[in-house]
Structure 1
Amino acid sequence: MKTQINTLKKLLFVALSSAVIYSCKDENWEPVNNYDAEIGTGENTNFDAITDTYADVSGLPYINMWGYRNVHDPSVIKVGDTYYMYSTDVAFGVSVKPGIQVRKSKDLINWTFEGWVFDGLPKKGVEYITQNGGTPDNSLWAPYIMEVNGEYRLYYSLASNKGRLSVTGLATSSSPMGPWVEKDIVVTSKDDNSIGTNAIDPTVLVADGRHIMYYGSSWDGIYKLELDPATGLAKNAGDRGTRIVQRGMTGGMRNGNLEGPEIIYNAEQKKYYLFLAYDWLQTKYNVRVARSDSPDGPFLDYNGANVNNNIDSAPMIIAPYQFKGHSGWQGVSHPGVFKGENNQYYIAHQGRPGVNSFYMDLHVRELYWMQDGWPVASPERYAAVTQKEIKSADLAGTYEQIVLGYNVVPGYGNEQTSPDFQLSSETILSPNGTINNDPNNTWSFNAPYLTLSWGNGAFKDILYVKYGRDWENKVSSTILFTGLNQFGTAIWAKKIK
């Protein structure tokens, strides 16, 4: 079953081949019109122009209109007052040129398409694959961007037609806009029985002078690999590192895909957080988190279990969901976690609308750290909503609430055909402090945390409260909450009246 993963992905990541040049801008663009003017900027943003589907502007003639569209596997870095995003080569319904897509933004809402890192496939990655009997894909996957002493390092993934015959390579530049120079291959994998994982999906952590890459996918989980800080390449040539994460199994089959790691260190929490992508990217794709006191692990889940011991970890902080009046969002993973203004963390990922899972929209959400040190994600996309004091009286009202439950469906694309949408239900926070007018269920508020107590205190949800946009109902500002119950299950809600 695992040998089908790259083949299935290729059906989603179609690209055109072209000669290798190293640049960010494509001087042959023929803009159709200025879509950015339609969306606007800052306080003048026209959110209604940000649509779920975009068939009429998905092709190459409309690249200046892509913005948040055709985004998969985003990696974001903030340089000065600008955010730069690099992502996989994809487009809805059409072939696209390979090279890693580049976008930038001032506000995390309005994005302009800036071109490609490469004008084609990197030469050294192609050579490795062809020398090992494979044909490289005409697309690059899952880049990771970082800055080291004024040098921008961009790691990329190149897969092939042969299972896990893949490479992760490195390109460098003195500017986030390029031009980029291909340095070398960082780590490789072969389509054989050798120990290791698929050499895709890199992320890099700098800790105590060390540079450590975390990468991989289902074949043998997620690995960590020591890099040379001076070059950004493997410290020891040919090294593939050691495994740190592996998923559980049911009936002799893996419970689903495992890929797309993202590692950060939160200095306030004094812990390392490893975000992971679970399940099939077009349907059940979801985000899990593990944490450790050391960059070397062990990384533990919500229940204190080592995520390298063939388990499915918790908490799951983002998963396919559906609020009323909307087709829902599936495929909501491959997280890119980064810091913005005022030490605010964000998580970027793709979102595929329930009406058609081949569209890929950029979602950016705020992350909050709860009192127990676990991160949670906003139930709605970031919209720069003005914040004001929230009092207990403001919380009384009717909410749409989603409990991010989960059903195990072992397998990959052939088995996980359903997104397993988690549906919203109505919850009322009454002014008298009860939930749904039941005296056995009560709520209390100690800003910014809301506590929902169920069954006379037998169960409790601790939730972070903030204003945000209701995207489904096109309401510019409403109260949102997000958090975890005592079992590590994520709870989302938005106030609707």
Structure 2
Amino acid sequence: MPHPANGENAGVQFPSSPGEFTMYDTSILDREPEWGVHNAHDPGIIKTDDGYYVFSTDVRVGGELIPGVMVRKSPDLIHWQWVQYALPGIPQVALDWAGSGNLWAPDVVQVNGQYRMYYSASSFGSRQSLIGLHTAEHIEGPWTDEGVVIRTRDEDPLNAIDANVLKDAEGRMWMVYGSFFGGIHITELDPETGKPLEEGFGKLLAVRDKTTEDGAVEGPYIIYNEQFKQYYLFLSYDSLFEDYNVRVARSASITGPYLDAHGRDVADSTYMPQHEVGVKVMGGYRFGDDPGWIAPGHNSVLNDNGNYYMVHHARGGADKHWPYLHIRTILWTEDGWPVVSPQRYAGETEQDIPAAMVPGEWERLVHDPAVDGQVQSVPLKLHWNGELTGEHGQGSWSLDGGRTLTLRWNALSEGQGHVEQVRLLPAWDWEKNAPALVFTGMNDNGICSWGKQSS
């Protein structure tokens, strides 16, 4: 099997090396300009005329925390540089109401030429929380305090954090928010003020039956895909430090109901076991002997002229205290579900893949919603005669003549699905620092899988 980097592969273009990426670098702990993607948590992305910007939660490994919302920028979604803290500290209204020591989960949108930054103020385990608003004429500020958008008390049944603001297909403005306690809600905003049109907390979109870490649902983010005429609600489930994972459900209406691939409503807490509700597009993982990544989640999504990217944080598999910024290409299944690349973005583009590139040794992993924590890849061999063999079973494979690979399994355990359609992508293998062909997709039981060619 030819190596994907050589010239025998019919003009398929693999991305070039994104450069050196050093993890767990203690020499940069106190030097923000050298952080790059380090210390990024709950990232919210926006594209501007001056480049891509990510605003993120105030976190810091191995040093004294400085509150004020971290800001990074990039010309290409690959190389990120530190800009500044957006604010000089915690706004007085956030101190008075929530007593917070840092600011969480900022989301920035542009409305009529003005930038609006929605931030969250709270403390872990508390519902005494608020979402505040600042505005600016330029993406790098200065920012003006516009006060409170919505707030909750400890006696309230929900938690006012994790805002995501968007316009629907008709141009109306909405804010989806909420976390952990009481689930996810949506409320319509006044486009002039950026604040709720009506009093109250809005409509419930998603909830789970527990308020412990294994019943957490947070970090909501909604996008609309014009091609499929659907709204997609992304959510993060479970423990922030251990088994965080990203789920998605969809609806023809921005106010729901949001259903998964089995038609289950993510606002219905009676489904058992609850860990199987929502399409799990990504969780912790390891390819081969690499330490991999722990607890990926709290994502935003960028629609860049029809190219979609998931933006999220993940914790290093060798030390979960170090959070890093990840950008991943989103591809779409034929029936309109988003699936994400098993590799971080390095400039790759989706292309037709010659059938001769597909046979060989692969590593495959399955994002089974019933499995917590990291998933380990296992070997898969795609034979030249169209057969497949591996630790997950045997069967056959076929290519549609372009970029959709179908894996047909005949020896899988009950409930695992038997037909798997995946999209091929010429990517950069960050574990091996080399180009590699990868796939991402979903089987006929609504379970997502990843693959990476290893020979």
Instruction: Report the Cα offset of residue 81 of structure 1.
Output: 5.6
Name the structure 2 match of 1:284: 243
Give the TM-score normalised by structure 1: 0.83
What are the Cα deviations for residues 51-96 of structure 1, in whole angstroms up to 9, with x where unaligned?
A: 232222122xx11101111000000111126101100001112122
- Is the CA contact 2:17–2:428 (under 8 Å) kept in the aligned structure 1? no
Instruction: Note the alpha carbon deviations across 1:86-143, whole angstroms, 9 max, x for none.
Output: 00001112122101000100011111100011110112222333xxxxxx12200000
**Deviation at 1:277?**
0.6
Which residue pairs with 2:119 in the alignment?
A: 156
Query: Which residue is equivalent to 2:345?
Result: 382
Residue pair 1:290, 1:301 contacting (<8 A) in 2 also: yes
TM-score (norm 2): 0.90
Paired position in structure 1 for 2:335: 372
Match of 1:213 among 163, 167, 175: 175
SS in 2 for 1:335: strand
Aligned residues: 429
Alignment of 1:394-473 (within 5 A): 394-407=357-370, 420-436=373-389, 441-446=395-400, 447-455=402-410, 459-473=418-432
Equivalent residues in 2 for 1:469-480 (5 A)?
469-475=428-434, 477-480=435-438
Task: Tell me if structure 2 keeps the 8 A contact 1:58–1:70.
Answer: no
- Contact persistence 1:245–1:308 (CA under 8 A): yes
Equivalent residue letter for 2:192: A
- Give the Cα separation in 1 of the matches to 2:247 and 2:223: 14
After the TM superposition, which of the residue ranges 288-297 and 157-166 deviates more from structure 2? 157-166
Give the Cα–Cα distance (whole angstroms) in 1 for the partners of residues 427 and 239 of structure 2.
29
* 1:137–1:161 contact (8 Å) kept in structure 2: no
Identity within the alignment, %: 37
**CA-based RMSD:** 2.1
Instruction: Please give the alpha-carbon distance, in whole angstroms, between the structure 1 residues aligned to 2:123 and 2:410.
Output: 54
More strand by share: 2
Decide whether the 8 Å contact of 2:97 with 2:128 is kept in 1.
Answer: no
Aligned pair 1:322/2:286, yes or no?
A: yes
Separation of aligned partners in 2, 1:317 and 1:122: 36
**For residues 45 and 72 of structure 2, what CA distance do their matches in structure 1 show?**
9
Q: CA deviation at 1:343?
A: 1.4
Q: 1: CA distance between counterparts of 2:195 and 2:229?
A: 27
The 3 A distance-change label for structure 1 pair 198 and 182 is: same
Deviations 1:466-492 (A, max 9, x none): 1001111111x2111000011111110
> 1:105 maps to which residue?
74
Change in Cα spacing, 1:366 to 1:161, as seen in structure 2 (3 Å) is closer
Say if 2:64 is the partner of 1:95.
yes
| Contact 2:349/2:425 (8 A) holds in 1 | no
Displacement of 1:388 in angstroms is: 5.5
Establish whether residue 53 from structure 1 lines up as the match of residue 24 from structure 2.
yes
Higher helix share: 1
**Alpha carbons 2:107, 2:163 under 8 Å: kept:** yes
> Taking CA–CA contacts closer than 8 Å with sequence separation of 6 or more, which of the two structures ends up with the larger relative contact order?
2
Unaligned runs of 5+ in 2: 1-14
Q: 1:10-29, aligned counterparts within 5 Å?
A: none
SS state at 1:462 partner: strand
Select the residue among 234, 237, 252 that pairs with 1:275.
Answer: 234
Letter paired with 1:449 = T
Paired AA for residue 147 in structure 1: Q
Unaligned runs of 5+ in 1: 1-42, 130-135, 409-418
User: Aligned equivalents of 1:309 and 1:271: distance in 2?
Assistant: 20
Alignment-derived partner of residue 236 in structure 1: 198
**Given residue 55 of structure 2, which amino acid in structure 1 is its aligned partner?**
Y
Aligned residues of 1:368 and 1:377 also touching (Cα < 8 A): yes
Residue 200 (structure 1) aligned to one of 142, 145, 161: 161
| 1:186-197 → structure 2 map (5 Å cutoff) | 186-192=149-155, 194=156, 196-197=157-158
Per the alignment, residue 39 of structure 1 pairs with: none
